[in-house]
């Protein structure tokens, strides 16, 4: 197992190298000069050149990528073009905001999605199952920005129950746990709708397959209580395929976070990314791309490890 | 999984009907048409799928006939700023006095264009690479699979946002980027199917009879992987429409003055617009939802019809 994990981590290195190189290529081939941000109309051509030199923009692409890589390996992600402070100083608070949002979304989706999926499978083709199927279709078809705006309209503007955005209420009244939870509710609903829909669908089909297994019939035949059959024999065995889905949906969750953070003014990585794009903040964009790729790879690894945990038959 | 409820009695009746169709065609059961007919019959029985297909066709007609249907030029100021819906402007006007209904009608062109063409593009890329990689195996397979892994470890949406916004946000770039980045899942699907088929006797026979690789690939393998590709394409259109809408909403997709359903919602991020000018953001939001829902219903119906039974 330890050897397997080590091997997987080593495979990540070439993948990350390729990801970072492609990102670098795309970002640097784009039209528009980041030096423009630093140039004021009264600067001479020589001064502009000097600025470009200081930003390292006048060297060939490969040299710049090499430099970036060398610095990154040493933990230096460069200075943000826009705010002119080190990228590594900006990132932690943004990462924590996004991780908070994503973790709550994940936990919430499991808590809602798994039981609904199990019930949907148990009462297959009942009114409840049909309701869930309908919900699935809506959940994967509604654009998250439309859902977000709709929820703000109903719950924040009309009913005045929840805040319209941000992480805490500004001023002395904000920052309590209740206040934080209030700010989380709407973004988490928006972000988890897609996730819950998928979860219900996968848990349902996975459970229906397992109902056909002989050991399930045996469990029922020997008179085990229904709950025990369902949860101990059924759900446990359906976990393996569910884990695959969860890990493969993580990139989608990250993508969804960009839109959700934008709508709810959530100060996370997604919002930072949109800012970086609009100001052509290349070091920041590179850092965010790298971070996102690392997150995806780590989740894939966690999924592989979890397989072995939930299914002892799988050995690496 | 099916949308409409099916009790056991109906399923029985259907099975009998199906058996009849098959037995009627027994003499010519090798014929492709009979298979198509059965699949079509199964599809038509799924009410939601049929409704989805009808909505989709109507939308295509609306998109094609936009100049005839739209009451005003969608890009020009034709009324007062942010006028409420009235008999003159059925869905009101936006912040510079453009007719919302006309923009809505023209917006269908963007959604459908991006949805259909980006998917066509990545289907061609994904299918060719998947066929080659699955059939040839070896080094080709290894290289293609490594590339798909790299592509799939990018968070898709984030990459699309970065690439489109850095190149130039317009409809062509959006279509191209989704088309160039969307192929890996399809490629893996086709590869898996081809690897299964490769072991089949008739393919082995074709190989040992010395048929050329292109002939085997396109004449014997491709028709057999066509169904799963078609289903993936349909769901892909739904995803692409959503991606375009999200990009345009964020201001990095199709940008104003061109109307897209996504960018019509951009201004609703302002709480004043959201609260007081509901006619500006509710209709385009509903249009996206209805379109994507229709395509998803269609895809689901297609999948059940091809799989042979509504699970």
List pLDDT tens digits, range B155-171: 788 888 888 888 888 89
- For CA atoms B295, B296, B299, B304, the dihedral sign is negative
Residue range A154-165: mean pLDDT, rounded: 88
**How far apart are the C-alpha atoms of B132 and A178, rounded to whole Å?**
57
Model ipTM?
Answer: 0.84
pLDDT-derived band at B7, boundaries 50, 70, 90: very low
Q: Is the pLDDT of residue B72 over 90?
A: no
Residues from chain A contacting residue B155 (CB–CB below 8 Å): 251-252, 254-255, 292-293, 295-296
Q: Is the pLDDT of residue A314 over 70?
A: no
DSSP-assigned letters across all residues of B81-118: TTPPP-SSSTT-B-TTS-BHHHHHHHHHHHHHHHHHHH
Q: What is the pTM of this model?
A: 0.85
Contact B157 A258 (CB under 8 A): yes
Chain B neighbours among A 87-126 (CB < 8 Å)? 125
Residue range B185-206: mean pLDDT, rounded: 89
In sequence order, the 6+-apart residues with CB closer than 8 A to the CB of A158 are none
Q: Which 8-state DSSP code applies to residue B220? A: I
Nearest-by-CA chain B residue for A208: B311
How far does the CA of residue A120 sit from the closest CA of chain B (Å)?
Answer: 11
**Chains A, B: CB pairs < 8 Å:** 146
pLDDT of residue A316: 59
Q: Is the pLDDT of residue B53 over 50?
A: yes
Q: Is the pLDDT of residue B54 over 90?
A: yes
3-class DSSP assignment, residue B255: coil
Nearest-by-CA chain B residue for A286: B162
Q: Is the pLDDT of residue B27 over 90?
A: no
How far does the CA of residue B3 sit from the closest CA of chain A (Å)?
Answer: 7
pLDDT of residue A11: 78
| Weakest-pLDDT range from A66-75, A230-239, A294-303, B3-12 | B3-12
Which residue's entry shows tokens 């080593």? A10
Residues from chain B contacting residue A130 (CB–CB below 8 Å): 3-5
pLDDT of residue B17: 56
CATH of domain A99-265: 1.10.3720.10
Please count the other Cβ atoms lying within 10 Å of the Cβ belonging to residue B221. 21
Contact A133 B1 (CB under 8 A): yes
pLDDT-derived band at A45, boundaries 50, 70, 90: confident
Residue range B226-249: mean pLDDT, rounded: 93
Give chain B's mean pLDDT. 84
Query: Which of the given ranges, A103-107, B121-125, B142-146, has the highest pLDDT on average?
Result: B121-125
Q: Characterize B246-272 residue by residue with b for buried, 16 or more Cβ atoms within 10 angstroms of its Cβ, and e for exposed.
A: bbbbbbbbbbbebbbbbbbbbbbbeee
pLDDT of residue B233: 94
Q: Is the pLDDT of residue B3 over 50?
A: no
Query: Which of the given ranges, A281-290, B42-51, B292-301, has the highest pLDDT on average?
Result: B292-301
Contact B274 A141 (CB under 8 A): no
How far does the CA of residue B60 sit from the closest CA of chain A (Å)?
Answer: 19
Contact B153 A300 (CB under 8 A): yes
Contact A137 B165 (CB under 8 A): no
How is residue A316 written in tokens?
């690496």
**How far apart are the C-alpha atoms of A202 and A239, rounded to whole Å?**
10
Contact between B46 and B306 (Cβ < 8 Å): no
In terms of C-beta distances under 8 Å and separation of at least 24 residues, what long-range contacts does B304-307 make, across chains too? Answer: B304/B1, B304/B2, B304/B42, B304/B46, B304/B49, B305/B39, B305/B40, B305/B42, B305/B43, B305/B46, B305/B49, B306/B39, B306/B227, B306/B228, B306/B230, B306/B231
Contact B285 A146 (CB under 8 A): yes
pLDDT of residue B1: 40
| Weakest-pLDDT range from A151-155, A196-200, B92-96, B239-243 | B92-96
pLDDT of residue B22: 53
pLDDT of residue B246: 93
Q: What percentage of chain B reaches a pLDDT higher than 90? A: 40
Q: What percentage of chain A reaches a pLDDT higher than 70? A: 93
Q: A149 in contact with B at a CB cutoff of 8 Å?
A: yes
Q: How far is CA B262 from CA A256, B74, B107, B211, B250, in A?
A: 15, 15, 9, 50, 8
């Amino acid at each position: 197992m330890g050897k397997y994990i080590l091997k997987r981590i080593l495979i990540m290195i070439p993948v990350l190298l390729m990801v970072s190189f492609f990102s670098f290529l795309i970002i640097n081939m784009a039209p528009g000069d980041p030096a423009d941000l630093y140039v004021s109309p009264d600067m001479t051509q020589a001064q502009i050149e000097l600025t470009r030199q200081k930003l390292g923009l006048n060297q060939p692409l490969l040299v710049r990528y090499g430099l970036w890589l060398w610095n990154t390996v040493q933990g230096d992600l460069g200075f943000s073009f826009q705010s002119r402070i080190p990228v590594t100083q900006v990132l932690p608070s943004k990462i924590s905001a996004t991780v908070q949002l994503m973790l709550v979304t994940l936990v919430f989706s499991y808590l809602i999605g798994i039981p609904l999926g199990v019930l949907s499978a148990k009462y297959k083709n009942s009114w409840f199952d049909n309701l869930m199927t309908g919900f699935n279709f809506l959940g994967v078809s509604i654009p998250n920005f439309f859902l977000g705006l709709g929820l703000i309209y109903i719950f924040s503007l009309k009913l005045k129950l929840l805040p319209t955005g941000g992480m805490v209420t500004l001023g002395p009244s904000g920052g309590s746990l209740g206040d934080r939870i209030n700010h989380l509710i709407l973004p988490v609903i928006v972000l988890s709708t897609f996730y819950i829909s998928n979860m219900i669908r996968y848990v349902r089909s996975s459970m229906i397959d397992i109902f056909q297994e002989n050991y399930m019939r045996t469990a029922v035949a020997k008179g085990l209580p229904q709950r025990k059959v369902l949860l101990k024999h059924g759900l446990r065995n359906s976990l393996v395929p569910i884990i695959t889905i969860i890990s493969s949906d993580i990139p989608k969750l990250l993508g969804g976070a960009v839109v959700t953070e934008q709508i709810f003014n959530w100060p996370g990585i997604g919002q930072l990314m949109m800012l970086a794009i609009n100001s052509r903040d290349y070091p920041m964009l590179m850092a965010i791309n790298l971070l996102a790729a690392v997150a995806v790879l780590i989740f894939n690894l966690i999924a592989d490890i979890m397989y072995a945990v939930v299914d002892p038959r799988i050995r690496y | 999984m099916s949308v409409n409820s099916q009790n056991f009695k109906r399923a029985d009746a259907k099975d009998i009907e199906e058996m009849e169709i098959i037995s009627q065609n027994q003499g010519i059961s090798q014929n492709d048409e009979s298979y198509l007919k059965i699949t079509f019959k199964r599809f038509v029985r799924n009410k939601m799928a049929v409704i989805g297909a009808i909505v989709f066709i109507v939308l295509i007609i609306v998109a094609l006939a936009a100049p005839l249907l739209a009451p005003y030029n969608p890009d020009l100021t034709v009324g007062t700023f942010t006028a409420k819906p009235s008999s003159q402007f059925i869905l009101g006007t936006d912040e510079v006095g453009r007719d919302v209904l006309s923009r809505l009608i023209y917006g269908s062109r963007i959604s459908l264009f991006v949805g259909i063409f980006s998917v066509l593009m990545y289907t061609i890329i994904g299918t060719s690479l998947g066929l080659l990689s699955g059939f040839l195996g070896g080094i080709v397979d290894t290289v293609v699979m490594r590339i798909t892994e790299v592509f799939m470890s990018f968070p898709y949406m984030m990459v699309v946002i970065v690439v489109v916004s850095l190149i130039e946000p317009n409809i062509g770039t959006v279509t191209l980027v989704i088309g160039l980045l969307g192929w890996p899942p399809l490629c893996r699907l086709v590869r898996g199917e081809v690897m299964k088929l490769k072991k089949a006797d008739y393919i082995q026979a074709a190989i040992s009879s010395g048929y050329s690789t292109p002939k085997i690939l396109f004449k014997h393998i491709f028709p057999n992987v066509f169904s799963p590709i078609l289903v993936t394409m349909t769901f892909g259109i739904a995803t692409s429409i959503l991606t375009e809408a999200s990009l345009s909403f964020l201001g990095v997709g199709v940008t104003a003055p061109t109307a897209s359903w996504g960018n019509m919602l951009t201004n609703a991020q302002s709480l004043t617009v959201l609260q007081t000018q509901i006619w500006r953001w509710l209709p385009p939001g509903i249009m996206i939802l209805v379109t994507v829902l229709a395509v998803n219903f269609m895809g689901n119906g297609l999948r059940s019809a091809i799989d042979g039974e509504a699970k």
